[in-house]
Every structure is written in structure tokens, then in C-alpha cells.
Amino acid sequence: MTRLIDIGLEEQSVLLNRMGELTYQTLSIAIKAYVDGSTVQGQIQEMSDRLMLMSNKVEDRTFELIARFQPVASDLRTIKSYMKIGYDFTRYGRYALDISYINDQINGLKECSPHMIAYIKEMSEKVLQMVKISIDALRKHDIALARTIPEIEQEIDQMYQFHLKRLIAEEQTSNKCVISTTLMVRYLERIADHAVYVCESILYIVTGEKIYLR
């Protein structure tokens, strides 16, 4: 027999899956524009605002589910995790907005060397892969897929540290390139962290255990 709370949880799941699709689209547009040097800040602002509204809706429904029903421990675990994932998705949107902002204000990637541009592209692709894993794992509640994310996250951390060291060693890099790429790799590293957080929440929903993937 279907419980009323199950209907509410399914609605939360559907809303989060829609958020996931929007976050991936938002980040993809922002990153592509950064690499191409095109302007999309207005579009990303609108998409980021939509994500915030959707996250607020997840939060409101969370309190409604708790107030109207009597969630058992497993329900509370899911409700709490869904609200946290909603927040993580808004952070994706916020970092996409930050990326579009530094692109519009500095547009420094065009002043970087070709190998550095290629490096940023590679790091961006890996981060988008992590975001996609987190979204797909949520949609399917796939803990095996969620467990694949730490290896890529370690690569991102290493790429972040390597880039900073290389900037120090390269004397001919322009100021715009240094500022722009330093901020960019930091944003990418933080996006990767939130992808890990989402996967940790999925593991908690399915297993009931607090499992840290970092």
C-alpha cells in the first residue's frame, strides 16, 4: 500500500532530477563560454536564480513532509539528504555564475599559452563528468556509480595543485591569465567537491551509513 509520504518523496525526487538536469546545462554553458571567450552571464544568472527557487521549493516541501506526516528513520534520512542535495545543486549554479563573471570581467584565458588552455579544458571535462555521475547516481539511486567518483576527484585535486605550481614557475604568464585561471581551477575544484557530497548523500539514502568518499 502506497503511503502519502511516499508520494511526497517521489515529488521531491522528480524535482531534484529536474534540478540536476538544469545544473548540468548551466555548468556546461558557463564552462564552454569561458573556453570560447563568449558572454553568457545574463543567461547563467537567470538559470542560477531558477536553481535557487527550485532549492527553496525542496526545502519548503521538506518541512511540509515532516509537519504533515510521521516519517520513520529511513524517511527522515531521505528527506534530509534530498534537502542537502538541493543545496549542493544550487552551489553548482553559483559556481557557474562565478565562472561567467570572471570570463566577462577578465577574459584572461585568451592570453594563456596553448598548453594551459588545453589543461583547463581537460580539467573542465573531468569536472563535468563528475557532475554527470552525481546526477545519474541520484536519478537511479546507484551506489555503485556513486562510489566511482573519488578517483576522479583525486585527479581534480592533483590538477588544481599542479596548475598553481606551474603558474609560480612560469615567469612570462600575463596577469589576466594568472588571475582568470587561478579562479577557474578553484571553482572547478569546489564543483568537484560538491559532486562528491551529492554521492555521499546518495550512499546515505540507500545504505543508511555515513560514508565519506574524500
What are the helix and strand counts (H, E) for the chain? 7, 0
Cβ–Cβ < 8 Å for 109, 35: yes
Distance in angstroms (rounded) separating the CA atoms of residues 197 and 48 = 19
Distance in angstroms (rounded) separating the CA atoms of residues 100 and 119 = 19
Residue 171 has pLDDT above 80, yes or no: no
Cβ–Cβ < 8 Å for 149, 133: yes
Average pLDDT over residues 121-126: 97
User: What digits encode the pLDDT tens for the residues 60-105?
Assistant: 999 999 999 888 988 999 999 999 999 999 999 999 999 999 999 9
Domain layout of the chain by residue ranges? 4-207
Predicted TM-score (pTM) of this structure? 0.94
Distance in angstroms (rounded) separating the CA atoms of residues 137 and 133 = 6
Give φ, ψ of 113 to 5 degrees.
Answer: -70, 155
Cβ–Cβ < 8 Å for 188, 128: no
Question: Cell triple for residue 202?
Answer: 546518495
The CA-atom distances, in angstroms, between 82 and each of 47, 57, 143, 151 are: 20, 11, 15, 24
Architecture in CATH of 4-207? Up-down Bundle (1.20)
Query: Is residue 1 very low, low, confident or very high in pLDDT (cuts 50, 70, 90)?
Result: low
Cβ–Cβ < 8 Å for 63, 34: no
Distance in angstroms (rounded) separating the CA atoms of residues 205 and 126 = 26
Average pLDDT over residues 144-159: 97
Distance in angstroms (rounded) separating the CA atoms of residues 189 and 163 = 12
